Structure formats: C-alpha cells, structure tokens
Structure 1
Amino acid sequence: MGQKKVMNAEELHFLGIKVVYKDLVDKGYEVLNVRREMDVDPQILARKDGLMLFIVVRTEAFPDMGVLKPGVAARVGMHANKHQAVCYFASVGIANANGDNDEEMAQPEVDGEYYINYKGLQPFPQ
C-alpha cells in the first residue's frame, strides 16, 4: 500500500466548499453557482425565501480555521450591494482523522478521512 498524498491548497479549499455546499442543500437553500477558484469571491451564490446570499468560503488545515480578510469582505460587500444580496462567511477547518498527533492531523490526505470544524454561516462584520 502506497503513501497517501497530502492535500494541496486548492484541494483543501474545494473540500471546504463541498462541506458548505452540502450544508446549504441540506437546509433547503437553492445553490445557484459555485466557483472553486481560490482567487474568485464569493465561492457560492445561493437563495432562500427570496433572499440572495453571497458566501465566501475559507478553509485551513488543523488546527487553523479559514479567515475572512477585511479587503475581501469590503470588495464582496460592495458587489453584493449592487445585487441586493446578503454576505456570509463560512470558516472551515479540516483535520486528518487518521492522524495520531497534531502534526499528522494537520496534513489532510486526498481521499482520506476527515474531522470537519464548521459552525455554519456567519454574517459579514458590519
């Protein structure tokens, strides 16, 4: 059995997006668009009860969580205002569930098992 491949930044980012996407669908949101590129914000456009949502997703490996940078929040917020949308942030942390220590848990593997730290959508700071 060969060595497993540790996720690169893009793979980690996309896994975080998939976590948020599944949560939205499970809660009855209509997902209109998903962008997986790391340099495109927002990653998810969704709608529920007539309300348009712009969702920025940031994902980090254990022990960290994704962070919303002020410049991104300002840029997405201005774009959302033009479309009468509400902005939300989704912070995701991913840990390698098969890791025996912090160093191993900080290296999620492609097609591995994961612990997910995600507490739902958070409104943008005002």
Structure 2
Amino acid sequence: MGKKREMNDEELHFLGIKVVYKDLVDKGYEVLNVRKEEDVDPQILARKDEQMLFIVVRTARFPDMGVLKPRTAARVTMHANKHKAICYFASVGIANAEGETDEEMGKPEVDGEYYINYKGLQSFPQ
C-alpha cells in the first residue's frame, strides 16, 4: 500500500465544512446552501425556526484552530443584517489520528483517519 498524500489547504477547508454541515443536519437545521471556496463567506446558509443563519467556517491543522478575522466578521455581519440573518462562526481543528508526533498529527492525509476539534457554533458579533 502506497504512502497517503497530505491534504492541501482546500481539502482541509472542505473537510471542516463537512464536519459543520453534519452537525447542523444532526441538530435539525435546514441547510440551504454550501460554498466550499475558501474566499467566499459565509460558507453555509442555514435556517432553523424561520431564522436565517450565515455560518463562516475556518479550518486549521493540529494544533491550531480556525480563526475568524475581524475584517471577515465585519463584512459578513453587514451582509447578514441586510437579510435579517444571525451570524455564526465554526472553528475546526483537524489532526492526523495516525500521527505519533505533533508534527505528524499536524499533517492530515487524504482518506486518512482524523481527530476533529469542533465545539459548535459561536455567534458573532458579540
């Protein structure tokens, strides 16, 4: 069996989006749209109890977590206000579960096993 390939940034970002998407569906949210592009915000449009949600997802490699930059938060908040939507941020951290050192854990592989660090949605602005 050949060596697995390390995920690139786009693949890592999309895995983070899939983690958040599954959590939303499991909690009964209606997911209206998903954009996997890294430069499009928000990544997920969802609805629950007639309330529109704009969800920004950021994903990082172990030991880091995704970070919401103030400029992105301000831009998404302005857009959300026009649509009477609530803004949420989803920070996701991904580790290679087969890694034995911190360096190896920080290199998740395509079709590998992962440890996922995700604590749910955080509202913004606060």
Give the TM-score category using the shorter length.
Answer: over 0.9
Deviation at 1:125, TM superposition (A): 3.0
SS in 1 for 2:55: strand
1:50 partner amino acid: E
Secondary structure class of the residue paired with 1:53 = strand
Q: Give 4+ residue runs of structure 1 displaced > 3 Å after superposition.
A: none
Taking structure 1 as the reference length, what is the TM-score of the superposition? 0.99
What residue in structure 2 maps to residue 113 of structure 1? 113
How many residues align structurally? Answer: 126
2:98 is the counterpart of 1:98: yes
1:33 partnered with 2:33: yes
- State the Cα deviation string for residues 24-58 of structure 1 (Å, max 9, x = none): 00000000000000000000000000110000000
State the shift of 1:19 in Å.
0.0
Structure 2 residue aligned with 1:42: 42
For structure 1, list consecutive stretches of 5 or more residues without a partner in the other structure. Answer: none
CA–CA separation in structure 2 for the residues paired with 1:123 and 1:22: 18
TM-score of the superposed pair, with normalisation by structure 2: 0.99
> For residue 20 of structure 2, what is the amino acid of its counterpart?
V
RMSD: 0.5
Stretches of structure 2 that go unaligned for 5 or more consecutive residues are: none
